[in-house]
Chain A
């Protein structure tokens, strides 16, 4: 019985995330629109877009290799798998045993690797541009992200995400300076990783500014749909990751009906908060020049490092 429950949990949570991803995007767009005094598109537009794209015919560049067509599936699968490591409504999560936090970052890395290759594949200048810039971003973002994970791992003595959340839930609630730094770093990184303003602008196709979109330039139809969906999933993933790591309260530590039922609304609430925050920042901030991006990311890296050090120095006893 338990086994089935576990399996169910393991399958349900990532699928829930997958289903919710476009909604989150929609919500963010809506809030942004409101902040900019526009009515904005209805919340379900992203779903419609996906359906439309899937229905459309896929056109592939003559110059592209088979890898170009395989890429969307790999990217999608890798992102989904990464999501499977995240506790959404309960910390009882076999998926987290398969891939811990480090593996999660690794899987995102896999997705990025393939994505960038796909960007280079068509042999157009824009693809290369996007690829090169993406790698610049990740050069700093990935280690910083790892540092954030390390900070928490050294506190909770595990790299298993569910375990981390569990430890935070069960352990006494103490205010940790390292967590503050780590949280700040993670927020900055999430913005960068998901290609949001001020690092990248998801809603532009100006080749001088774009990073992520540049790599997708050649995609169309179902391939593009998968890519978009994966991107939305990644955004959600980061949001949930933030939530899990820093304010996991509300997650069910055991698979009991009330707990499990109570969890999703709480999560939705927290995600809404984050979405509002992101929308706000995207409204007030402007996209920065590419060569200010390293500075931005170095800041994130520094914060993450400070988190680690302050943990070692101040909280070593813990």
Chain B
């Protein structure tokens, strides 16, 4: 419990303190410190869960499904903080795009974002989950508009409106859920506690659950970035400060997807004996496939490097949703693994992209050239990151895609051609933009910058490790999660 509190509420303390801390340089370090503390808590929590199993108390619930996401969140939070300290300081002092107040807001809200993420992950109460996810929007929306450019403000506005509305729908879904629960539960029982609901799920009224799930899917799906609800995502990613893009892509989408999957578990349990037991899965699959294919096409002919990679995030979210939708242990395992590796890879890519834009002083792809000549570390980081995200072994994403494909091959063989086609198109789109940026002669007047490649290195190393061999601990967690979600174990 203490670990849990440490992990979740350190950021909360960070919010308050960093809001008061005036000096930007110190704030960066403090930000780093809080993230590290939170990571420590998460690790402690993980070991505890590993040793004593599910932790379910005081309205919190940490099981195999979310514990690894908690660790992931805090870890990416830390590495991104490592990157963001010098980067934002550079933006603040050299580029002068952020005022001192802006810096304070930034650091404080960075922690706020982490807090909401962790809260959403660990809470057992669906209402709190909703509040937290909405809170995440509120925490990040001002960061998206941090640069105060018209484009940034517009992006933030869209982000705010679309996610706000989406989340409102999720709340309606939650209400409907609560409503359905109230007819089963005795008075006084907490009808919003996920574990309670899961226990009684089979008795929940299917027709209500269906409606509730639709609202929840559309609601949280907006934050996952499912097509056609994704429109806010490229704007928010491309206009916000790069560290924000990293955490948004790496964490926020995951958490939203996590929420969706929790809801799917309830719905599946409720619909088990109805006429359409697979409905939730099929909806998710449909959304996933649509998202995947649309995003894959959108990867072509991009001009803005950050938009490019935000579309790639959408693509991978589509894949994960598809995986969860397909169901079955193999696909679920693949999707869970994919959440992990994608978060690591994508955040590392955004870190590199931050350096790349810093080197070229623009986000326009056709003006970023010859990185590998100007600064080999950045060039290679970008190239390897893209290779990883495009699903090349020995990086971990290949593993999850391999599993996903083979699972699809077993359950829906005729959908695999679509997936493969999509993967090829996605690869082409990514590389036709990346290769010119990395290779070739460097334009005159382009100089290396002080780049901190440590986060990239650690992330890619982890992804590589996951591609070559999945540690037993992690495999155990993922398998337990799979068991939790599908009821069947893989190992």
Do A and B have CB atoms closer than 8 angstroms in the complex?
no
B residues apposed to A, CB below 8 Å: none
A residues apposed to B, CB below 8 Å: none
